A and B are shown apart, each in its own frame.
Chain A
Amino acid sequence: MSENLDIDHSVVFVRRLEYLNFVQTLRSQGFEMCADLTAVDYLEFKERSLPKDVEAQRFEVVVNLLSLSKGKRLRVRVQIPDDDPWIDSIFREYPGSEAMEREVFDLFGIVFKGHPDLTRILMPEGWEGHPLRKDYAPGRVPVQFKEVKRTR
C-alpha cells in the first residue's frame, strides 16, 4: 500500500493482513468516520464477481468509511476464509466501530483481534451459533416450554 492513496473509486478490496494498515492510512488521510461495518456470508453465492486478484472466500467484512471533509464514501471489502475467521479490529482507529464489530462477531462469528470487549451484543450471552450465517437454520435450536400444562 502506498502512502498517498489516490482513491477515486468507492470500493476497495484489501487483503486481511493489510487491512489494519490500510485503514490507518485512510484515517490519516481524512476519513474521519467509520459509518458502517458489516459482513456477508457468501456460502451460497460463490460465483460473485470480484476483481481478478482477489480470491473469493466465504465471508466478507464490509467497512464503510466516510470522509466529512471531502464528502466521500469508501467501501473496504475484506475476504475472510471459513476455516479461520478473524480480522483485526479497527477500534483504535475508529472507536465507533465497537458495537458494529460486536454485532458482526455475534451474528457471523468473525473474531476481531484487539477488540476490547468482544461479546455477544444482540443474542443472549449463552447463545450457540451465529444466526446470520447461511448454514444456520432458523428454528434449529429447539424451543421447549417446560411445564406448560395443557388446557385441553
Chain B
Amino acid sequence: MPYRGTIAETLKFKGHNGDEGDAYYARPTAPGRYPGVVLIHHMPGWDEWITEAVRKLALHGFATIAPHLYFREGGSPDDAAAKARDKGGVSDAQVVGDASGAAAFLRARPESNGKVGVIGFCSGGRHAYLVACTLPKEINACVNCWGGNVVIDDPKLLTPQRPVPPIQMTGQLACPVLGLFGNEDQNPNRDHVNRLEDALKKAGKSYDFHRYDGAGHAFFNASRVAYRPEQAADGWAKVMAFYHKHLG
C-alpha cells in the first residue's frame, strides 16, 4: 500500500480575540472526512520540528494545524519566541483562545469529520491539558507529551499569565487523555506524573499513561540529543492508535 498523499501549507487562522495569525496545516489529499488535531508547540516556538510533527500526523490520517502562538510578536519565529519570553510568556487565556480558534478552523474545513484532538509537547503538553480542561465541548481527545508545570508546588511559579496549575482543572475534563513521559525527566518528574495520574483516577477520567525508561524530556525530537528512537517510535504509535480510536 503506498504512502498516503498529503499537502502542507502555511495559512491564516483566527485566534484569541479574533486576532489573525499564521498556522501550519497539513492534511491528507484523498477525498474523505478526516479527524482534526490541534498541535501546540513547545516554548522555543513554532520551529521546524513542529512542522515535521504536523506532517507526520497528516501522513497518518489527521488534518493537523499548529498555530503560531507567538504570531502577535512579529518577526521570525525564533525572534517572536524571544519577545514572548521577554514578556514572561504568553498567557493561558490567550493560548486557550488560539487553540479554540484552531479547532474551529479544523471543523470548518470540508474534510473535517467533526472531531478534534489536541496534542502538545513540553510547555505545549501543559497547554494541551489546559486546553482540554478549559474547552470540554471542543476537544475530543488530549495527548500530553511530557508537559511540565501541570503540577506546581511553588506558588512563586504562578503568574498573571499562568494563574492556575492545570492539575486543579482536572474535574472539567470531558475527553480521554494519553500521557507520554520519560522517567529521567525533571519536569515533569516521576512524582509529578504520579500525582497527575492520581488526580485523573480520583476524578474518574479516562486516561492512559506511559512512562519510558531510558528517556528524559523531548525524546520525540530527532534534532536534539534527547531523541530516543525506540521510545519515540513506540510513543508515536500510541498517539496514532489513541487518536484513531477516539477521533476516527
Partners in one complex: no
Residues of A within 8 A of B (CB): none
Residues of B within 8 A of A (CB): none
